[in-house]
Amino acid sequence: MAITHGWLSVIFLVFLPQLAITSSGESKPEVGKRFETVKTSFEIEVNDLNKTRGVEDGYNPGDVNTTLRQAKDATLSSIPPKDMPLRVYVERSFPQPVDESAPVAQRQEVEKRFSLVRELLSRLSRLDSFRLDLTVNTSPSKARFELVPRMGVPVSSTTNSRLTNIYRGEYDYNITKAGYKRVHETINFIERSGSVLECELQPDPGPQEALPCQFR
């Protein structure tokens, strides 16, 4: 199955607005709309695949993988090239191809993969921006905060402060302060909404374990 005209149109439509990206990111309606466009075209491709699959309980494995690959390429094309945290999230979340050495891809396995794509695109369609400004407050203040993406450059600051233009994605974060227990947790700026991270540090030594921060 070659790349269809529909997918070429989607890739063009989602890539063109990147030429106008400003330092503060996309306008709010623009971001989710990109992924809605990809999701609509994906559903058209799946519907066409259902009409032409020709096997009652399965699909042609090559056609399934082409549909998955084109959806993935269109999704990644919708993301700014420098937004490595979100690109890594998409790469990790996309389902694996079906086995092309088998004569038929079983319907249950294919539909499971298609459902994962729908769920991913639905989450991305709810994004209102590619970046966010993150305020980090600790009690007591003047702690060191470090935000570490799965791929990309870590950023750090002293609390209580605000970090601007943080790409949405999955991160580890560390909070350290002399005399207090280290906080080490993960945070997902795609599946969770908010802009303030609030942390209560625990004395070291002390009976209370380090507590995760609250993202609001």
Domain with residue 204: its CATH number is: 2.60.40
Compute the distance between CA of residue 150 and CA of residue 167 in angstroms, rounded to an integer: 12
Residues 92, 12 within the same domain? yes
Residues 70, 173 within the same domain? no
Residues 181, 77 within the same domain? no
Residues 176, 89 within the same domain? no
Residues 144, 120 within the same domain? no
Residues of the chain with pLDDT under 50: 1, 8, 10-28
Q: What is the pLDDT of residue 56?
A: 65
Q: Residue 87's domain spans which residues?
A: 5-125
Q: What is the pLDDT of residue 192?
A: 86
Indicate the pTM of the whole model. 0.81
Q: β-strands 131-139, 196-200: how paired?
A: parallel
Domains of the chain: total = 2
What pLDDT, in 10s, does the model give residues 54-85?
556 789 999 999 999 999 999 999 999 999 99
What pLDDT, in 10s, does the model give residues 148-170?
998 888 999 999 999 999 999 99
Residues 115, 147 within the same domain? no
Residues 161, 198 within the same domain? yes
Residues 121, 137 within the same domain? no
